[in-house]
C-alpha cells in the first residue's frame, strides 16, 4: 500500500535549492537521525543555520513529514559518490528515519517507509538497486542507517536488493568488486568493508573472507533478491 498525500505532514524546510545541471533523482538515500526524537530532528532539518534537510522524515510511530519538494535538491547527503557520480544531493531523494542507530527500527516506521518508497520509485523511475544507505556513498564519514536497519525486509518487497545465492568472484578481489558495485574508490578498504557488512552481513567481523567476496560478486553480477 502506498502512502497518500493526505497522510503526509507538510513541514517545509528552507534548506533546499534547485538540482544542478538539470539533474533528476536517480537514487534514494536512507539515513538515521541520531537525535533525541523526531521533533528534535524536525527542528534541526528546518533550521537555516544547520544547513541540513531531507525530503522526508519518518518518526518511530510512523508519522511522515514532507519537508522538501521531490523535484528540489535537499541537503542530506554531503560529500561522497556512488558508481562514479558525485553531487549525490542533486541525484537523490533523502529520507531520514528517527533512530539513533543503536536499536531496531520500529515496525510502524518500517511500514511507513514501505508505503512511501513505491511511489517515489515509480514517479522517478528509480530501480531497487538505487535505494542505498548514506554509508554506501560516504563510507569514511557516515554509518547510517547502520547494522540495525533491515535491508533484507525491503528487498523482499522489491524496494532494495539483497545478494541471492553467492556467486563466484573469480579473479576479482575485494577492491575490484567494491568499485564495481558502486562504493567510492577513494574510500579506504576498512570503511568500505564496514559499509558493506553493516548493510549485507551485519554482525560479521574480521578480515575480508570468501563469503564477503561471494556476496559482493552476487550483487555486482545481478543483485538478485533473496526471499527465503
What are the boundaries of each domain within the chain? 5-156, 174-220
Interval 86-131: pLDDT, tens:
999 999 999 999 999 899 999 999 999 999 999 999 999 999 999 9
Q: How far apart are CA 107 and CA 98, in angstroms?
A: 12
The two beta strands, 56-58 and 16-17, are: unpaired
Tens digits of residue pLDDT in 12-49 = 999 999 999 999 999 999 999 999 999 999 999 999 99
* Active site positions, annotated: 96
Q: How far apart are CA 222 and CA 228, in angstroms?
A: 17
**60 vs 29: CA distance, rounded Å:** 18
Host H or E run for residue 110: helix 107-124
C-alpha cell at 189: 578498504
Reported as a pLDDT band with limits 50, 70 and 90, residue 1 is low
CA atoms of 1 and 212, how far apart (whole Å): 34
Q: Is the pTM of this model over 0.85?
A: yes
Angle at 108 (CA atoms; ends 75, 25), nearest 5 degrees: 30
Q: What is the CATH number assigned to the segment(s) 5-156?
A: 3.40.80.10
Amino acid at each position: 500500500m502506498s502512502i497518500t498525500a493526505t497522510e503526509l505532514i507538510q513541514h517545509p524546510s528552507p534548506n533546499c535549492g534547485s538540482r544542478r545541471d538539470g539533474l533528476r533523482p536517480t537514487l534514494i538515500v536512507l539515513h538515521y537521525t541520531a537525535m533525541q526524537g523526531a521533533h528534535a530532528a524536525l527542528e534541526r532539518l528546518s533550521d537555516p543555520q544547520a544547513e541540513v534537510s531531507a525530503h522526508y522524515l519518518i518518526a518511530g510511530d510512523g508519522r511522515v513529514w514532507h519537508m522538501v519538494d521531490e523535484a528540489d535538491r535537499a541537503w542530506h547527503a554531503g560529500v561522497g559518490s556512488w558508481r562514479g557520480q558525485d553531487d549525490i544531493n542533486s541525484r537523490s531523494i533523502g529520507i531520514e528515519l528517527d533512530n539513533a542507530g543503536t536499536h531496531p527500527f520500529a515496525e510502524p516506521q518500517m511500514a511507513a517507509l514501505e508505503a512511501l518508497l513505491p511511489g517515489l520509485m515509480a514517479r522517478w523511475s528509480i530501480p531497487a538497486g538505487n535505494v542505498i544507505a548514506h554509508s554506501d556513498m560516504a563510507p569514511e564519514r557516515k554509518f547510517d542507517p547502520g547494522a540495525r536497519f533491515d535491508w533484507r525486509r525491503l528487498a523482499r518487497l522489491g524496494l532494495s536488493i539483497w545478494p541471492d545465492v553467492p556467486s563466484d568472484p573469480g579473479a576479482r578481489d575485494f577492491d575490484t568488486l567494491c568499485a564495481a558495485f558502486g562504493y567510492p574508490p577513494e574510500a579506504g578498504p576498512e570503511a568500505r568493508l564496514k559499509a558493506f557488512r553493516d548493510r549485507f552481513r551485519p554482525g560479521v567481523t574480521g578480515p575480508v573472507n570468501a563469503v564477503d567476496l561471494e556476496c559482493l560478486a552476487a550483487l555486482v553480477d545481478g543483485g538478485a533478491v533473496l526471499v527465503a
